[in-house]
Amino acid sequence: MLHDNYIHKHNLELDISGIAAGDIDAFENVYRKYYPSIFRFLYLSVYDKAVAEDLSQDVFLNLWKCRKGLDPSRSLQCYLYRAAHNHTVNFFRYNARYCELPENELIHKAWLPDEVLDSKFLHREVEKAVQSLPDSCRSVFILNRFEALSYKEIADTLDISVHTVRNHISKALYTLREILQKIL
């Protein structure tokens, strides 16, 4: 197991060095490995498949454009998630400034019992609740609960303290509990 981790880390460093040197094959290896998780992270942030695909492509395009500045000793996973987070924040800033966003739908307090049991309904309500979290809180929550990153990994990725990560998770769980309690 320890040997496998060493080989994985060594291969990743080779891929990062290869990308920095302009090696297309190394870039394709990294793209194939990380695209699904970066896309999932972005989709859970914006809840729009087309936008998540565009933002994912932008993350990898920027990786290629900035390849000469890559440091093989730094975590590529942290770099990619940080870039995805930044793209998400920029997306929301742009939309808040230049696009007219629809008003948030109010969550109705009275639902039929059959609807509450409907898993698709619950899934939509959880998505809405997660979407209602502040940007930084939502990113931390998604990285922890959907991408299974530890508090330390999230802190390194987003360049924040572990204490701040704990606070964001606590705030997210409290907010989600409050919102979802109204419909359950």
Domain 1-101: give its CATH architecture: Orthogonal Bundle (1.10)
Tell me which amino acid residue 92 is.
F
Give 10-residue mean pLDDT values along the chain (184 residues): 42 74 91 93 88 94 89 84 89 69 38 48 81 91 89 91 95 90 75
**Which of 138, 131, 136 is CA-nearest to residue 160?**
136
Model confidence pLDDT, tens digit, residues 21-55:
889 999 999 999 999 999 999 998 888 899 999 99
The pLDDT value recorded for residue 60 is: 95
Tokens describing residue 128:
């809405």
Q: Among 1.10.10.10, 1.20.59.20, 3.40.50.10860, 1.10.286.10, name the CATH number for the domain at 104-184.
A: 1.10.10.10
The pLDDT value recorded for residue 2 is: 39
